[in-house]
A and B are shown apart, each in its own frame.
Chain A
């Protein structure tokens, strides 16, 4: 089982000091946090994607490419990649590039985002959110899995003889998770492809998470990818810890009360009772998160939101020390204690390549497509060809 962190990359004023980091400070803090996550023994760092202030991560592969160079073991991921408004061709290219740069330590999580105007900013219609997610992902899969793609759909200009470059490392595309909070269609999509399903339950009560995950597991089995218990599940979470729980509550409360999403809404006590947010001692966090498997079944990935609501970098790094040093080792042991052997680990590139080799679908040694059918073709060439065609028709 993988334990890691995800960031939404918000620039938020620290309510206890009134200080707001600059965008540059925030981005550098994210780089430091990712490196520290690896140093304290965490398995995953994931970044969100946003296209409006006060969020900074508009260019996830640039950020993750740098982190790939400063780390050696941590898995790099997204939370989430906007499958609705990004061109699937660009996602295929960017993440295949990142996958090679990071030597396979890359997966990504598809999502539809939660900011309405992003759709029109990128020329899309928000009412088509689900159809965009469905069509764009279907194209993305083909661009990764097939070398030469002819394609026509509703939302993007057609492709004829298109090859996405670079090809995925070892002929095995990055593993994909699909994140959704409310839409059964996305759980259905994850199940259809045998991909992972991530429920970012940080704002949701467990009854809801349980029913979404159960639905995904049933459909995963329906589509023949394995038994329901073998489906690939991830959960979100958020915690704030101090050795004494009352210290944790006292220190975190001002950040909670002013937080961008739930601030000025429910009390800290109501919110911690109703969602996975846990503010207290490391043992309280262990107890809460070790119990998650009783609600959703044994799962593969637990991500925590740690750097938000204006918490200063020094505090976030201390929180990671506690998470990696005291909490995750115990959670690993607890989760492993009753985990059936039939439940798979979280997918890694090495494991997926081994599976592909066994199935004979991995790329051969010399896999690069070398034929260049396009460079040097000029507009005049195409115009001549077009004239020739129209001449034939006329």
Chain B
């Protein structure tokens, strides 16, 4: 079986960033879960900070820079996406939303997606459910049931000793691995593959 591809998008702004740290943990756990059921996977990770100006330029001009185009093609032609954002002012960061805004509305239809977020305290954990998840529902992505929120304290072993961060990561990664193997391997996107025959267009009109 060919190796499956996982695209990881981290919207953390710091260097280093706890958002990137969570993204890496989710990616590694997913690779491990896939390996456990005999599937190899490769990971390509992007930090939106590196293309922040390109994202704004794409919003203004309507076309992506070569660097951003590579990112978009990778994310939209992959077997799974792990998307992790810091929570700012109750919701995903503006940069994260701007990135989602320049995706084609059909780019992630059916794609397995694992959501993650970071924030200061566990009081914000449901932001993943009430703001981030609906975004991907709108895009008709296949968002796995468990999303992973990491508060600052989680990195120290934790506020939640019953469902610790590593346990939540493993559960989410398992769900993502199951979703990945349940669908055929992705192929490069060909914008002309679905172009209709003109006789059909005339018939429709």
Q: B65 to A130, Cβ gap below 8 A?
A: no
Q: Which of A118-139 contact B (CB under 8 A)?
A: 130-131, 134-135, 138
B202 contacts the other chain (CB 8 A): yes
**Which residues on A are within 8 Å of B, measured CB to CB?**
130-131, 134-135, 138, 153-154, 184-185, 187-189, 191-192, 203-205, 208, 211, 215, 219, 223, 261-262, 264-266, 270-271, 274-275
User: Chain A interface: which of B75-83, B87-95, B119-127, B189-197?
Assistant: B189-197
B201 contacts the other chain (CB 8 A): yes
B62 contacts the other chain (CB 8 A): yes
Bound-state CA distance A43–B195 (Å) is: 34
- Of the candidates B57, B63, B204, the one having the most CB atoms from chain A within 10 angstroms of its own CB is B63
Chain B contact residues: helix, strand, loop or mixed: helix
CB distance from B57 to the nearest CB of A (A): 4
Q: A266 to B195, Cβ gap below 8 A?
A: no
Residues of B close to A138: CB separation below 8 A? 202, 205
Known: A135-B205, A138-B205, A265-B57. A185 touches B196 (CB 8 A): yes
Bound-state CA distance A192–B80 (Å) is: 38
Residues of B close to A153: CB separation below 8 A? 205
**Which residues on B are within 8 Å of A, measured CB to CB?**
56-57, 60-63, 65-66, 69, 191-192, 195-199, 201-202, 204-205
Q: Select one of A154, A184, A264, A274 contacting B60, CB under 8 A.
A: A264
Q: B191 to A184, Cβ gap below 8 A?
A: yes
Known: A153-B205, A188-B201, A189-B201. A211 touches B192 (CB 8 A): yes
Q: A185 to B63, Cβ gap below 8 A?
A: no
Known: A184-B192, A185-B201, A265-B56. A270 touches B65 (CB 8 A): yes
CB distance from B48 to the nearest CB of A (A): 17
Residues of A close to B201: CB separation below 8 A? 130-131, 134, 185, 188-189
Q: Which residue of A lies closest to B205 (CB)?
A: A135
Bound-state CA distance A215–B205 (Å) is: 23
CB distance from A135 to the nearest CB of B (A): 4
Q: B205 to A266, Cβ gap below 8 A?
A: no
Q: B63 to A208, Cβ gap below 8 A?
A: yes
Known: A185-B195, A188-B196, A191-B198. A262 touches B60 (CB 8 A): yes
